[in-house]
Structure 1
Amino acid sequence: MTDETQLKILIADDEPLAAERLQMLLARIEGVYLVGTAHDGESAVRMAEALEPNLVLLDIAMPGLDGIEVARALSRSGDSPAVVFITAFDQFAVAAFDVAAIDYLMKPVEADRLSRSIERARAYLIAREDRAPDELPAAPTSPWLEEFWASDLSGLVRIAARDIDRVTAERDYMRLHVGKRSWLIHHSMAALEEGLDPDLFVRLHRSAIVRRDFIAGFSRNASGRWIARLADGNEQPVGRLYADQVRAIAGR
């Protein structure tokens, strides 16, 4: 697949109005070609095998095979299509991650959000083609958390762990800070500390984890407690229980 090649898309949605809306939105996007529309899971698998789309826009709640099962079935082929889930339900995000979905959009889908998702799928397919997997050894699976799903105004967004500047606790939720934006996820600080790569992240407080290269320096306040100066100009107090982390980072 090249940048100039049209992206062949299959829609799989048992709601005629939802499928029709996707068709109209796709008609406004350059470089895509709709090869067909399936209205249940079984026909989605059959049509994907016959029509060989590059991308499947896949509903989750469908009669027969649901969208997750369809994605698993498609992944068994050697050159499986990319999958973007489009659904009215947000509770399937973890399952979508498990089947390596490119994106997860909430209904009703907005035109610009769909367009961004299409471009993400295109970039993924081009990169996959360039990898020449038969010539390279398989990459080992990382034992650390590599990405998260978080709620967004347009649905759910996938956040790469390496892009997170810091994590702060807010009652039963954790806030992931990425640049000037932030997202809440339902997680515990202890679980994040165990799951995030310790070579990349360090816990500085009972309610804060910071990416190591986001720390610009340390200073002490009037009471002698350490304060971490962050790359964005903010400061993060270091808890007394985590003072050893400062000495370890500074090599003292």
Structure 2
Amino acid sequence: MAENPPLRIMVVDDEPLAVERLQLLLARCPGATVVGTANDGEAALRIAEAVAPDLVLLDIAMPGMDGIDVARALSDSAVDPVVVFVTAFDNFAVAAFDVAAIDYLMKPVQLDRLERALERVRAHLAGGDRAGRRRMPAHVEEFWVPDHSGLVRIAASDIERVTAERDYMRLHVGPRSWLIHRTIAKLEEDLDPEMFIRVHRSVILRRDTITSLYRDDSGHWTARLADGGEQRIGRSYVDQVKRLAGR
């Protein structure tokens, strides 16, 4: 009986030492071969397209394009490899990211746990259900954000307003708010445009929080909000905001 071909594995982590550690562990795993490595999300997508791995061992917390973004892009690509997340997050938070991954590994990765993950991947591929694997939704449906000594899950649909603070975005939910490290352009792309609209270079609003629009004596347009507040609309965003009212 012919032996199964080795798993073609790609390792993605922004920390070179973490990549090296996984390579050393994989060298001790029979039937596993590393076909590529990357230290950022953009490079990961380019290299994955070139080497067509069966499996990507994918770090979650990376600057710029994080592991969740990479997993979503891979899921929509022609390559569509199996994903196993590698994360330093605690177990209670990992469930949020498990929707598109076959497994997850906690850092520091242990050899026996890595071997079990590889077996799970082999079983998944042998079952022929790669096409049946749940895909990531087209838009982000939830965020896990730092809160005191842990992480808090925030449903995207609960966010009323997003405001930019330099390299961070503040997510407003009722009287509370949380910071995440992301650009407003990236967040605008991640959020469902049927639910959210950008009204200023530094502000995104959930559409149903806008109760009315008015123009002041200076010609500036402003949105009145359901909580009684107001938000000035940037000049370059006026036309798309007015389309809310069919104008």
TM, length-normalised to structure 1: 0.49
